[in-house]
Amino acid sequence: MGPAWLWLLGAGILASLHRQRLPAHAEKSLGVPQAPSEQLPEPAPTYHKVTHTITRFALRLYKHLAAETPGNIFFSPVSIATTLALLSLGAQADAPTQILEALGFNLTETPEAAVHQGFQSLIHTLDLPSPKLELKVGNSLFLDKQLKPQQHFLDDIRELYRAFAFSANFTDSATTGRQINDYVRKQTYGLVTDCLQGFTQDTLMVLLNYIFFKAKWKQPFHRYQTQKQESFFVDERTSLHVPMMHQKEMHRFLYDQEAACTVLQIEYSGNALALLILPDPGKMQHVEAALQPETLRKWDQRLFLSLLDLHLPRVSISGAYNLEEILPHMGLTNIFNLEADLSGITGQLNKTISRVSHKAVLDMSERGTKAGAASGLLSQPRPLNATTALQAHFSRPFLVLLWDVTTQSLLFLGKVVNPAAG
């Protein structure tokens, strides 16, 4: 069989501004797991100003989602963080500070300009061509044809985020919505379709980010070794019969007794890897509570190479979230109220963000893994051991973290509760 592939995709925050319906009387350094067999080039220092903060933001957001989501979780922190940071370029007053601080940046240590330079370096580096790793990142801005965007804003987003502006006719919201979704589908090679919803005649702007990733497994799975019907225990009372992939290969691996989990690192050809975390039975919440950047550093230092008898289910999951209810609990509030000042984009006041949507999809099989994410800020009128193979049997819920090693970027993060959900 051919080598396995990994497709990762994120079409990240859709930011959509709408006319406000006003009353009549008022118009630190995180050590990401490193691929041990490759000598990595010395990374450009500027993207390190943002990648570790994005990881911390990802873990914080994950815990909020886990508290409200009993099932599968999957999202792209790079996609969400990039578009929020881009949006901050068009915010005025104290909104830029609040957006960046909500992402976790200490603007005393890393000034606003340095943050944007860090994202600029990250996008540039992720987008560099590679013979073994296909990674594509982009940002686009769709503005209603009646608006005249601020030239300095267009210059900044083009220089820092490689974002280009397009004119759109949101009066015909159905047609324009289909056109934007078709744009996403083409940019993501058909992986994300009809993912951005909520367009109306009041829509004035859509801010879009996408990320596409494709790589081969370094140690491929083979379909003939897959057991078609093995038990996967969703919880103590529920089990499913799912296809379970199998291989005996050398991988970096450890068991953390304190955290009560097994940690496995699987490499891809090129500078990419997956970190899979399998809690002991009944210990998922314990592991989630222990999930900190410091924990990831500890695991990276202690992972050891071992022959592993690995059983991993095929995975098909998705996650769809309205983050406007979660982000205020993480410090992001001003862009959701009527006093939000986003006039740096168009020069007009009374624009605000009322919805932040994000959707992500993960499919993992012998031939590869496909992952897609679409996230959006939609602004709408709101109502007021080496000799014997060690066993690693992923037959119960586990966490998955997908990394770009060169930039130490956490591209996707999720929890697989039901691998066949979708």
User: Tell me, what CATH number does 40's domain have?
Assistant: 3.30.497.10
Quote the distance between the C-alpha of residue 21 and its chain's center: 32
Select from 286, 263, 292, 281 the least CA-distant residue to 62.
292
Q: What angle do CA 54, 79, 286 make, to 5 degrees?
A: 50
Q: 50 exposed, middle or buried (CB, 10 Å; 0-12, 13-18, 19+)?
A: buried
- Verify that 117 and 212 share a domain, yes or no: yes
- Verify that 173 and 268 share a domain, yes or no: no
Residue pair 212/187 in contact by the 8 Å Cβ criterion: yes
Q: 222 exposed, middle or buried (CB, 10 Å; 0-12, 13-18, 19+)?
A: middle
The pLDDT assigned to 7 comes to: 41
Tokens of 38: 């490759």
265/34 Cα distance (integer angstroms): 9
364/12 Cα distance (integer angstroms): 21
- Verify that 270 and 207 share a domain, yes or no: no
301/283 Cα distance (integer angstroms): 23
Tokens of 162: 């490689």
* Residue 421 covered by a domain: no
Amino acid 187 reads Q
Select from 289, 258, 262 the least CA-distant residue to 275.
262
* CATH of residue 295: 2.30.39.10
Q: How many CB atoms lie within 10 A of CB 359?
A: 24
* Residue 422 covered by a domain: no
Number of domains in the chain: 2
What DSSP line would sit under 193-226, residue for residue?
Answer: -S------TTEEEEEEEEEEEEEEBSS---GGG-
3-state secondary structure of 52: helix
138/301 Cα distance (integer angstroms): 33
The pLDDT assigned to 337 comes to: 66
- Verify that 132 and 257 share a domain, yes or no: no
State the 10-residue block means of pLDDT for the chain, 422 residues long.
38 44 39 51 73 96 93 92 90 88 96 96 90 81 84 93 88 88 82 75 79 80 90 92 94 94 91 93 95 94 94 87 84 71 71 66 67 52 54 95 92 93 76
* Residue 329 covered by a domain: yes
Q: What angle do CA 332, 336, 340 make, to 5 degrees?
A: 100
The pLDDT assigned to 181 comes to: 85
The pLDDT assigned to 9 comes to: 42
- Verify that 293 and 394 share a domain, yes or no: yes
Residues of the domain holding 285: 223-313+387-416
- Verify that 373 and 264 share a domain, yes or no: no
Residue pair 388/208 in contact by the 8 Å Cβ criterion: no
3-state secondary structure of 81: helix
- Verify that 393 and 303 share a domain, yes or no: yes
* Residue 194 covered by a domain: yes
- How many CA atoms lie less than 13 Å away from 16 in the CB half-sphere? 28
Q: At what angle do helices 77-88 and 112-126 cross, to 10 degrees?
A: 140
Select from 162, 177, 84 the least CA-distant residue to 126.
162
- Verify that 76 and 131 share a domain, yes or no: yes
- Verify that 194 and 104 share a domain, yes or no: yes
- Verify that 170 and 279 share a domain, yes or no: no
- Verify that 259 and 188 share a domain, yes or no: no
- Verify that 207 and 229 share a domain, yes or no: no
90/378 Cα distance (integer angstroms): 15
- 2 pairs with which residues across the strands? none
